[in-house]
Every structure is written in C-alpha cells, then in structure tokens.
Homo-oligomer: A and B are copies of this chain.
C-alpha cells in the first residue's frame, strides 16, 4: 500500500467556484452570505471531477490512498472575515467528506481550518473537532500566515496557538503546515509563498519551545520541507551556535517532511540528509506542477518514480516512506486501516 499524504481537491466542479464568488461578493456588499443549501453538486459530478484526474493518476502511478484536503490556494483565509472563513471551511470540508465516503479506499480526509487574520486560532477548535469526530478526518492543514503573504499575525510559537495545539494533541491528529494563496505581489503562491512558508515554520519551531510544551504534537512540513533539507548544514550550524541540542533531538520527533520535490536530485538530497523515519511519501497531485518533464517523459509530480530510483534506500526504508511513517504520524489513519484489515 502506498499512502500519498498530500493531495488537494483541485479539480472542483465550476459550481463550487461560482458559490465562492457569490459568497465573497455577499461579504463585500454586506448582505447575508448564501446558504450552503443553494450549492448543488451531485455525486456523479464529484465522481466525474476525480475519475479522469486523481483516480486515474493513482491507478497509473500505483499509489493507493491519498490523504485529501480542500484546495490549499482556495482556503484564502485573508478573504472575508471569521464568519466567511467558517462557512467556507465547513462547506469545503463537507465536500471532502462526501468524496471520502464515495471512495473510502482512495481518499481519507484532512480538513481546512476556519482561520482568519487577527482572530485567535482557538476559533478553529470547533471545526477541527467536527471534522475529526463526525467526519472521521485524520488531520488538518494549518496556515502559518492567514494574512496571505503579509505575515502580520503571530508566529507559530505564540501562545495564542496553544489552545489549538492542545486540541490537536487531545485528538491525536497532526497538522500539515500549509499557506494558502498570496495577496502580496512579492510572492508567487506555488513558487515562493509555499516554499517560504515551509522554511519559515521550520525555523519558528527550531527557535521556540513548542515541542517542549507539546512533546507529542506533530507537524508535516510539505514541499519537501521548503528549503530546509538543502540547507540542513546551515540549520544544524545555527542550532549549534545557539547551544541547542542536535536537530534530530530538538525537532525530529515532531516534524516530518513530505516528498513533494519534483526531480530526482532533490529527492536524493532529501533521503540523504533527513532520517528515513521523518519522510512521508506525497505528490500533491493534481497540484502546483501539471506538466510532463521532457527530460524524463514523466510527470514532474510523479514523485514515486524518484523514490523508486534512489539506490541507497532499502525495501524497509521505502516501506517506511510509502506507508509506515504515515501510519505513525496519522494514528487515526492507522486505526482505520487496522479496522479494515480486521474486516470491519
């Protein structure tokens, strides 16, 4: 079994985009937000949006189960206010739930949080609980910058995050660090803001006591950890200059990296410098890069092929990357698979 820990629903029917447009317009015009009831998307439409995309690619690439969440760019926490963010998050999470119900062997849910700039992250606890307890989701995406590229809120070690961290620990679900779109003209979303968000979060963890305060809290840093593995020597050296313990001890019980790195040399670097126990397979398909690499004849984001090519990984290593680590980081996924195995 190959678990892809990072997939977004990026092939939504047009009706969802239209609804969002109406919602944002209603907010701007200060009239009541449209009711989610007005959005009609049939199960067939959901199936159709997935069959030729994520499901086809799963089959073609030989991956099995995708940990699936709403479109990251679509979260757009910087648009609207807390109420808009909650209404939009509930709606998007409900659609993920429908997809996971339609295809229980292909998708398992991770939720979008109703974050909003200047609103304490504890506002997300209710929706997180709903998704985990009622919709059987196994984690969430946490946006370290709900201002959308202005980085105007509190960093991840600020105490205002702590109630949310407490709930993550209590529910035993990890969070993937994932920014959304950028409304700052400096930052191209998928080319700069995403990668910067990953690097920034890692450094916030390195310089703070978050994991002393929450020893069992777990974060997945996507896109191969941003710039972190490439600069692993820099981070080891900075920690050492700060008289901190080695990074393995300081962070690697809590921080995991996915494999969304779209060329072999990058995956080689990742598997060379990051312990294999901290690497989770992911492709982010259908996502940031959709083309075929003319140098290989394969999709850039077919990351399984790169991992298959790394000569120094043993079969045990590969099994960890493809499955075991995801089961360890997402205990509710593991419990589900165990139940399925036992024929529930």
Contacts from A to B (Cβ < 8 Å): 144-145, 149-151, 154-155, 184-188, 190-192, 195-196, 199-200, 202-204, 206-207, 223-224, 226-227, 229-238, 240-241, 261-263, 265-266, 268-269, 272-273, 288-291, 293, 300-301
Shortest C-beta distance, A82 to chain B (Å), equals 21
Q: Verify A185–B291 contact, CB threshold 8 A.
A: no
Q: Oligomeric state, in number of copies?
A: 2
Q: Verify B206–A234 contact, CB threshold 8 A.
A: no
Shortest C-beta distance, A18 to chain B (Å), equals 24
Q: Verify B262–A269 contact, CB threshold 8 A.
A: no
Cα-based distance from A202 to B187 in the complex (angstroms): 10
Shortest C-beta distance, A285 to chain B (Å), equals 12
Shortest C-beta distance, A338 to chain B (Å), equals 35
Residue in chain B with minimal CB distance to A190: B238
Cα-based distance from A48 to B344 in the complex (angstroms): 75
Residue in chain B with minimal CB distance to A306: B233
Q: Which one of B185, B227, B240 lies within 8 Å of A227 (CB-CB)?
A: B227
Q: Verify A234–B289 contact, CB threshold 8 A.
A: yes
Residue in chain B with minimal CB distance to A153: B186
Q: Verify A289–B238 contact, CB threshold 8 A.
A: yes
Residue in chain B with minimal CB distance to A232: B263
Q: Which one of B196, B204, B290 lies within 8 Å of A199 (CB-CB)?
A: B196
Q: Verify A237–B262 contact, CB threshold 8 A.
A: yes
Cα-based distance from A293 to B203 in the complex (angstroms): 19
